[in-house]
């Protein structure tokens, strides 16, 4: 009597695969509220895992203690950064009330005039009154929702605890999770999985660690340049520029828009030039820095693995905002870069091509320093 059993037919495999995929989509839709906290937990575990491994190997302590020590280090770093950044920010924002009143007064005097456009007269003061009334109607419902505000705080605390618990167990069982994932692919495709995993891991490594360094470099550069040029709120705008580096392609535009408004209505704190000329100066310098950032800083700090076309990044940010809110915006770039790697692998297999073609390593180009002139070769006579 044979012990062999019949295998599923291709039709059965197709039906079962479609049913499983439909169930997974339905399950994700039903628990969609838990997806952003899970993403944050995965990111936190991914970032802290190298630190935990280093602490465990260096001190020879239990992994649980190493995880707790990494959380303590993270909390201390966050507290030190807040203590260093908040006092100067408060000092600058103390004058924001007066400057904001001046800014609003100048904006109202500029807009609150009558403009003639294509033969039609537009009353700017009436437009300001309509906008103010609409804003008051929009804000009034939120002012009375004190109970809802406290509920939101409690909910946020619960989600925060959930994130730390999930990330704790992800770090604790990281080896088991890695071995389980490696056992899922068939043996013939296990090497492909390892290569894809390593390439995607390089993308996320470059993004997280490089993005933090890039944000710090940009914040320092913008703060120094802001103080030199006399940009209002130079320190705050420098921090803002560093944070905007986490929004590729559109972060520069957001910073430039805010800086242009400050330059036009407030002007430089010490340069004796008109406000409109100062605004053009800020715009021109920022356009130069944008090219320097895209062509030098990002390729060298983050790497070219995450470097994508601006249109692709903007569309990815829009889709990420719809799907996962702020988290989707922040991780749009590495997610698209990872999808590009997987898509290239699938495309190559569909066309029966090698998904990992050998890349010929070219020697680095020989460059001559500008202060060193090339030596002239002298011909020797026979």
pLDDT tens-digit series, residues 27-47:
888 887 888 888 888 888 888
Report how far Cα 236 is from the mean position of its chain's Cα atoms: 19
State the pLDDT at residue 139. 45
Spatial CA neighbour of 316 closest among 346, 308, 264: 308
Which residues, including other chains, have CB under 8 Å from residue 144's CB and lie 6 or more apart?
none
pTM score of the predicted model: 0.64
Q: Which tens digit of pLDDT belongs to each residue from 318-374?
A: 787 777 777 777 788 888 888 888 998 888 888 888 888 765 444 444 444 433 444
pLDDT band per the 50, 70, 90 thresholds, residue 131: low
CA distance 262 to 240: 14
Q: What share of the chain is helix, strand, coil (3-state, %, to 5)?
A: 75, 0, 20
Q: Which tens digit of pLDDT belongs to each residue from 61-70?
A: 888 898 899 9
| Overall average pLDDT of the 90-103 stretch | 59
CA distance 215 to 298: 10
What is the helix (H) or strand (E) element at residue 168, kind and residue range?
A: helix 146-172
| Overall average pLDDT of the 291-314 stretch | 74
State the pLDDT at residue 23. 92
Q: Which tens digit of pLDDT belongs to each residue from 249-278?
A: 678 888 899 889 888 888 888 888 888 899
Domain boundaries, the chain: 33-107+147-184, 187-355
More confident residue, 249 or 290: 290
Whether the pLDDT of residue 114 is over 80: the answer is: no
CA atoms within 13 A on the CB side of 246: 15
Spatial CA neighbour of 42 closest among 335, 307, 365: 335
pLDDT band per the 50, 70, 90 thresholds, residue 281: very high
| Overall average pLDDT of the 125-154 stretch | 56
| Overall average pLDDT of the 204-231 stretch | 86
State the pLDDT at residue 128. 57
Whether the pLDDT of residue 103 is over 70: the answer is: no
């Amino acid at each position: 009597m044979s012990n062999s059993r019949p295998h599923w037919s291709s039709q059965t495999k197709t039906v079962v695969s479609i049913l499983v995929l439909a169930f997974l989509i339905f399950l994700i839709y039903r628990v969609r509220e838990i997806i952003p906290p899970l993403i944050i937990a995965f990111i936190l575990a991914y970032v802290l895992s190298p630190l935990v491994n280093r602490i465990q190997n260096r001190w020879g302590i239990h992994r649980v203690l190493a995880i707790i020590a990494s959380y303590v280090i993270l909390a201390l770093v966050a507290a030190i950064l807040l203590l260093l950044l908040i006092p100067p920010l408060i000092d600058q924002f103390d004058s924001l009330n007066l400057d904001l009143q001046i800014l609003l007064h100048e904006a109202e005097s500029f807009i609150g005039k009558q403009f003639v456009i294509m033969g039609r007269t537009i009353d700017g003061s009436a437009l300001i009154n309509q906008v103010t009334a609409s804003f008051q109607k929009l804000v009034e419902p939120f002012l009375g929702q004190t109970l809802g505000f406290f509920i939101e705080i409690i909910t946020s605390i619960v989600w925060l605890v959930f994130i730390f618990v999930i990330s704790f167990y992800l770090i604790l069982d990281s080896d088991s999770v890695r071995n389980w994932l490696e056992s899922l692919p068939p043996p013939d495709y296990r090497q492909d999985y390892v290569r894809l995993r390593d390439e995607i891991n390089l993308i996320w490594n470059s993004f997280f660690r490089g993005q933090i360094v890039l944000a710090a470099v940009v914040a320092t550069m913008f703060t120094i340049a802001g103080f030199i040029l006399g940009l209002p709120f130079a320190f705050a705008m420098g921090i803002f520029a560093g944070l905007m580096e986490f929004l590729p392609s559109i972060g520069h535009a957001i910073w430039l828009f805010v800086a242009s408004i400050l330059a036009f209505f407030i002007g430089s704190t010490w340069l004796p030039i008109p406000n409109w000329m100062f605004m053009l100066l800020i715009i021109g310098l920022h356009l130069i820095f944008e090219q320097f950032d895209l062509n030098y800083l990002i390729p060298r700090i983050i790497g070219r693995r995450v470097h994508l076309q601006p249109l692709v990044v903007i569309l990815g940010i829009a889709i990420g905002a719809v799907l996962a809110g702020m988290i989707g915006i922040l991780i749009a770039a590495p997610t698209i870069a990872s999808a590009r790697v997987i898509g290239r692998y699938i495309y190559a297999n569909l066309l029966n091509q090698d998904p990992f073609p050998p890349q010929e390593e070219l020697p680095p180009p020989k460059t001559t320093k500008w202060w060193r002139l090339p030596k002239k070769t002298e011909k020797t006579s026979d």
